[in-house]
Amino acid sequence: MNDRDGYDLGPDRLFPGLADPVLSSASLLNEIASRHPHAIPMAAGRPYDDFFDPAELPGLIGDYQRHLSNELGLDRVEVTRRLFQYGRTAGHIGALVARTLAHDHGITADPDAIVVLTGAQEGMFTVARALCASPRDVLLVTSPCYVGMLGAAKLLGIETAAVPERPDGLAAADVAAVAARIRSAGRRPVALYLVPNFSNPSGHTLTLTQRRELLEVAATHRMLLIEDDPYGFLADSSCRVPALKALDRDRRVVHIGTFAKTCFPGARVGYVVADQRVGLPDGGRGLLADQLALIRSMITVNTSAIAQAVIGGMLLRCGGRLSEANQGRVAHYRRNLTMLLHALEREFPPAVREAYGVSWTQPVAGFFVVLRVPFVVDDDTLRLSATRYGVLWMPMSYFYVGGGPRRELRLSCSALDPEQIDEGVRRVAALVRDCAGNEEDNRDDDATVPADAVHRS
Amino acid sequence: MNDRDGYDLGPDRLFPGLADPVLSSASLLNEIASRHPHAIPMAAGRPYDDFFDPAELPGLIGDYQRHLSNELGLDRVEVTRRLFQYGRTAGHIGALVARTLAHDHGITADPDAIVVLTGAQEGMFTVARALCASPRDVLLVTSPCYVGMLGAAKLLGIETAAVPERPDGLAAADVAAVAARIRSAGRRPVALYLVPNFSNPSGHTLTLTQRRELLEVAATHRMLLIEDDPYGFLADSSCRVPALKALDRDRRVVHIGTFAKTCFPGARVGYVVADQRVGLPDGGRGLLADQLALIRSMITVNTSAIAQAVIGGMLLRCGGRLSEANQGRVAHYRRNLTMLLHALEREFPPAVREAYGVSWTQPVAGFFVVLRVPFVVDDDTLRLSATRYGVLWMPMSYFYVGGGPRRELRLSCSALDPEQIDEGVRRVAALVRDCAGNEEDNRDDDATVPADAVHRS
């Protein structure tokens, strides 16, 4: 085969999007993490291990089976089919999801408008595919933005337009400005993707006013809002704001959810509420949800029936009240975030903060804090951090359309023990002091400094 | 919202590929099937229900857990992570898959070259995305072709070129001719997708000679072969031909497999063997498998860990010898196919066959028989068949690039009891006699007859 130089396939034979930092960053991070298994994992946004117990799995599947036979009245053959056969492409547990959405989020959703998908990621991918009808179409995204949405758009060749977040989160006026700019270029803004609660990566939670304004702007510009809400369950009464979908009066919001953080990520079960009425090419009408199901039938066919059974069992056990069932997790994550913020205060006292120009975000809940530092943070900085300082985190450049130099990194506290948080922040502080010192020596280079220069020593 | 006429989103606001028959056919079939739950399901290629037992699930997960702790030496936390956390994007059970490929198919694969995916469907989607680098690139497909590949290409905006199958299957010369035509149009043929064993829908199994010739043509035209093999396990010694991947000496074949038929479809566990060495944009080298894992990280993140655990348990129980473990299934499907062919002989005796111009394929194994009839078979014919005759099947037009009128339908026998096969074919025969009679009355219309004319009565 050997196209050239011992390759089987030269670089021109692979999808060029694979070279985009959004996609390649994931592999880089995995590679660094696997080479440094003992580095403190402040990069990972995964849940804390202690919430999981393999011994519960058989019971959960059993509960779901009993639900199928006792409550839905399925016979033995039908129950077996639900667990083993292909099944309906929109998934089996839409009604259980609808009940949970009603209890936990005040979202009223017809189960027929719910598509169960292979995690929120397949939701983003499927929604983006459905709504971007032509190369004219542009998907608006917050900036910074969750990498999963940027990656999905890249794979589909969908153009994204960044709406920069302000220090207090996304402003409707900025969304309007970007939408107007897109229209004036003869193109169409189709939707805005955002994570309104404890956003990944910025940590912002939008106020009720901000949400209402976004709904208005979306209506004015005939755009949809794609609300991705993996962290909403973390809100207690002190910081709970209604979901965009709960405020939605004219089917302006497509709501993406997941059980990754409330149940477990390995299930790969998420969902989309898509109650929009769509005109079909044949002149008929249907629900957007049905079109999403068609798309997913050509991506994954459906969500693993076994995974749906386990998640179904969990939803049954808590009576569709996941927020209540998750009070222990909420307390854990809140304590971890508080510890992370305290550790940052301790390691960067005001004088140091000011001298170096270090600052960080103050999210009310969530897994993430963004740390602003006085030097460009890139893959080489991460490698250095893993090798010499024994701590992993995410360069914020991964979360921006087009990447580019950024003087920020994201710290996650979700998967860590208290001691790891303290020690992790100590290590990050050592890295920052050393890099900032070097940067000081080379201050003339400033913003245009090549990334590797930061690590000169 | 109401763009117009009470729609929320008009037809111009949805991805236009959704109007393609390849995508919309799945929904039509589901809709018809759900309206006629008692129609005999000769459309479905799903496995037979009796092979599944929910009571086995806990034991299978337990076996997999013991494997992780006893054989792989993972501690309690690591085992829990394997079942509940995100995990490696290439999946956990690559080594178990590699052992099975070696035993059952004589395919030697490095586990690092295996990506575990959400069914074969995500394999097709991911491989198509990776290999089609520019709008110049064209994916060759057999004609007829499995709808899953056509649908994936449609969602990705990838152009496909059909290579018509001959009565004895795919000819390398035809592949060469299509590849040459593509090149002479200034475009690039990147790969040929095919199902070499008991193909869906045509039923063909390629001979050893045909396979060797395809490998040669692929090398000449610098194309890959994408081998999709869901049915290979059905081959007994009388009809076993080595997989293209087993014959592959220069990493010319990307092999897609699935446990849908050998274990169960609801798992949604498939895999791709992609040992090709690829040149990366940064000048480095890697395995195609790693690039597929990057792509899937933005589609599904990974394959459900619970589903992998159940499939892992099944692979452990049979010692990686799925073909042996499936002897009961092989016998069932072979008996069903024989019954289907006998029933066709009985319902269409030679005189009738000749009078009406009816014929059918004679596959040596597999789930499918293609019935050629003297009238155009379309969605209306299927609706009529469901409503008036109580039997479902697949119009063959779904399996051709661009659709178009076809006088063929696909009968499946995999999910049926013997009595259902006999009765189903009786009903199909009644439909054919009635439609052929009407066609006779309208013979002047011939090939250009509008589809609905066939159903005039």
pLDDT class of A34 with cuts at 50, 70, 90: confident
> Cβ separation of A133 and B16 shorter than 8 Å?
yes
pLDDT of residue A403 exceeding 80: no
Nearest to A299 among B1, B49, B125 (CB): B125
The predicted structure's pLDDT at residue B441 = 59
pLDDT class of A76 with cuts at 50, 70, 90: very high
> Cβ separation of A61 and B80 shorter than 8 Å?
no
pLDDT tens-digit map of A203-227: 999 999 999 999 999 999 999 999 9
The tokens describing A146, both together, are: 């969750």
The tokens describing A226, both together, are: 């794609």
Is A149 near chain B, with CB under 8 Å? no
How many angstroms separate the CA atoms of A323 and A88, rounded?
A: 28
Nearest to B86 among A10, A265, A307 (CB): A265
How many angstroms separate the CA atoms of B124 and B200, rounded?
A: 15
The predicted structure's pLDDT at residue A447 = 41
| Min Cα–Cα distance to chain A from B252, Å | 7
Task: Evaluate whether A102 touches A320 at the Cβ level (below 8 Å).
Answer: yes
Respond yes or no on whether the N-terminal peptide bond of residue A189 is cis (omega within 30° of 0). no
Residue A390 burial (C-beta neighbours within 10 Å; 0-12, 13-18, 19+): middle
The tokens describing A39, both together, are: 């580095």
pLDDT tens-digit map of A146-204: 999 999 999 999 999 999 999 999 999 999 999 999 999 999 999 999 999 999 999 99
Tokens 């976004």, residue located: A214
> Cβ separation of B10 and A266 shorter than 8 Å?
no
The predicted structure's pLDDT at residue B446 = 41
Is A297 near chain B, with CB under 8 Å? yes
Task: Evaluate whether B418 touches B67 at the Cβ level (below 8 Å).
Answer: no
Q: Which residues, at least 6 apart from B62, have a Cβ–Cβ distance to it below 8 Å?
A: B313
Nearest to B266 among A53, A118, A305 (CB): A305
Q: Which residues, at least 6 apart from A312, have a Cβ–Cβ distance to it below 8 Å?
A: A63, A64, A67, A92, A93, A96
Which residue, among B223, B247, B246, B275, has the nearest Cα to B111 in the 3D structure? Answer: B275
How many angstroms separate the CA atoms of B409 and B397, rounded?
A: 8
What's the first-to-final CA gap in chain A, in angstroms? 45
B 109-138: CB under 8 A from A: 118-119, 121-122, 125, 129-134
Q: What is the dihedral of CA A367, A369, A375, A377, to 10 degrees?
A: 10
pLDDT of residue A394 exceeding 90: yes
The predicted structure's pLDDT at residue A280 = 84
Which chain A residues have a beta carbon less than 8 Å from that of B155?
A: 129, 295, 298-299
- Taking domain B57-324, whether its CATH number is 3.20.19.10 is answered by no
- Identify the CATH number of the domain defined by range B16-45+327-455: 3.90.1150.10
| Min Cα–Cα distance to chain B from A43, Å | 14
What is the mean predicted confidence (pLDDT) over A330-355? 96
pLDDT of residue A452 exceeding 50: no
Residue A162 burial (C-beta neighbours within 10 Å; 0-12, 13-18, 19+): middle
> Cβ separation of A281 and B16 shorter than 8 Å?
yes
* DSSP designation for B386: I
Which residue, among A413, A428, A417, A423, has the nearest Cα to A45 in the 3D structure? Answer: A413
Return the CATH class of domain A57-323: alpha beta
Query: What is this structure's pTM?
Result: 0.94
Is B292 near chain A, with CB under 8 Å? no
Q: From first to last of its 457 residues, what are the pLDDT tens digits of chain B?
A: 445 456 799 888 999 999 888 888 877 888 888 899 999 999 989 999 999 999 999 999 999 999 999 999 999 999 999 999 998 999 999 999 999 999 999 999 999 999 999 999 999 999 999 999 999 999 999 999 999 999 999 999 999 999 999 999 999 999 999 999 999 999 999 999 999 999 999 999 999 999 999 999 999 999 999 999 999 999 988 889 999 999 999 999 999 999 999 999 999 999 999 999 999 877 889 999 999 999 999 999 999 999 999 999 999 999 999 999 999 999 999 999 999 999 999 999 999 999 989 999 999 999 999 999 999 999 999 999 999 999 999 999 999 987 778 999 999 999 999 999 999 999 999 999 999 887 665 544 444 333 332 222 2
Nearest chain B alpha carbon to A5: B279
pLDDT class of A6 with cuts at 50, 70, 90: low
The predicted structure's pLDDT at residue B405 = 81
3-state per-residue secondary structure call for chain A: CCCECCECECHHHCCHHHHCHHHHHHHHHHHHHHHCCCCEECCCCCCCHHHCCHHHHHHHHHHHHHHHHHHCCCCHHHHHHHHHCCCCCCCCCHHHHHHHHHHHHCCCCCHHHEEEECHHHHHHHHHHHHHCCCCCEEEEEEECCCHHHHHHHHHHCCEEEEEECECCECCHHHHHHHHHHHHHCCCEEEEEEECCCCCCCCCCCCCHHHHHHHHHHHHHCCCEEEEECCCHHHCCCCCCCCCHHHHCCCCCEEEEEECCCCCCHHHCCEEEECCCEEECCCCCEEEHHHHHHHHHHCCCCCCCHHHHHHHHHHHHHCCCCHHHHCHHHHHHHHHHHHHHHHHHHHHCCHHHHHHHCCEECCCCCCCEEEEECCCCCCHHHHHHHHHHHCEECEEHHHHCCCCCCCCEEEEECCCCCHHHHHHHHHHHHHHHHHHHHHHHHCHHHHHHCCHHHHHCC
pLDDT tens-digit map of A95-109: 999 999 999 999 999
CB pairs under 8 A between A and B: 327
Q: Which residues, at least 6 apart from B241, have a Cβ–Cβ distance to it below 8 Å?
A: B196, B197, B205, B206, B207, B208, B211, B235
Beta strand B277-279 pairing with B137-143: unpaired
Q: Which residues, at least 6 apart from B71, have a Cβ–Cβ distance to it below 8 Å?
A: none
Task: Evaluate whether A264 touches A229 at the Cβ level (below 8 Å).
Answer: no
> Cβ separation of A222 and B3 shorter than 8 Å?
yes
Nearest chain A alpha carbon to B54: A80
Task: Evaluate whether A11 touches A3 at the Cβ level (below 8 Å).
Answer: no
Q: How far is the CA of B174 from the CAs of A151, A277, B143, B171, in angstroms?
A: 37, 45, 11, 5
| Min Cα–Cα distance to chain B from A144, Å | 17
Residue type, A89: T
Is A88 near chain B, with CB under 8 Å? yes
Q: Which of A48, A57, A298 to mutate to test the interface with B (most CBs of B within 10 A)?
A: A298
Is A284 near chain B, with CB under 8 Å? no
Number of other CB atoms surrounding residue A241 within 10 Å: 18
Is B173 near chain A, with CB under 8 Å? no
Task: Evaluate whether A239 touches B58 at the Cβ level (below 8 Å).
Answer: no
The predicted structure's pLDDT at residue B166 = 95
pLDDT of residue A92 exceeding 80: yes
How many angstroms separate the CA atoms of A336 and A418, rounded?
A: 7
The tokens describing A52, both together, are: 């999981």
Is B193 near chain A, with CB under 8 Å? no
The tokens describing A297, both together, are: 């039938």
> Cβ separation of B298 and A24 shorter than 8 Å?
no
The predicted structure's pLDDT at residue B210 = 98
Nearest chain A alpha carbon to B25: A294
Nearest chain B alpha carbon to A90: B27
> Cβ separation of A121 and B80 shorter than 8 Å?
no
The predicted structure's pLDDT at residue B150 = 97
The predicted structure's pLDDT at residue B456 = 27
| Min Cα–Cα distance to chain A from B190, Å | 8
Nearest to A132 among B15, B46, B118 (CB): B15
The predicted structure's pLDDT at residue A456 = 28
How many angstroms separate the CA atoms of A324 and A103, rounded?
A: 10
Is B207 near chain A, with CB under 8 Å? no
How many angstroms separate the CA atoms of A321 and A329, rounded?
A: 14
> Cβ separation of A57 and B52 shorter than 8 Å?
no
Q: Which residues, at least 6 apart from A368, have a Cβ–Cβ distance to it below 8 Å?
A: A45, A198, A200, A201, A202, A203, A410, A411, A412, A413
What is the mean predicted confidence (pLDDT) over A424-434? 97
pLDDT of residue A450 exceeding 70: no
The predicted structure's pLDDT at residue B123 = 98
> Cβ separation of A278 and B9 shorter than 8 Å?
yes
Beta strand A359-360 pairing with A368-372: antiparallel
Which residue, among A301, A410, A427, A406, has the nearest Cα to A361 in the 3D structure? Answer: A410
Q: Would you list the domain boundaries of chain A?
A: 11-41+327-455, 57-323
B345, containing H or E segment: helix B327-347
Task: Return the bridge partners of A368, or none.
Answer: A412
Task: Evaluate whether B192 touches B218 at the Cβ level (below 8 Å).
Answer: yes
Is B239 near chain A, with CB under 8 Å? no
> Cβ separation of B85 and A266 shorter than 8 Å?
yes
The tokens describing B230, both together, are: 């869901």
> Cβ separation of B285 and A130 shorter than 8 Å?
no
CATH topology of domain A11-41+327-455: Aspartate Aminotransferase, domain 1 (3.90.1150)
Task: Evaluate whether A289 touches A115 at the Cβ level (below 8 Å).
Answer: yes
How many angstroms separate the CA atoms of B448 and A42, rounded?
A: 66
Q: How many CA atoms lie within 13 A of B40 on its CB side?
A: 23
Q: Quick check: helix, strand or coil at residue B252?
A: coil
How many angstroms separate the CA atoms of B23 and B57, rounded?
A: 33
Q: Quick check: helix, strand or coil at residue B194?
A: strand
> Cβ separation of B156 and A151 shorter than 8 Å?
no
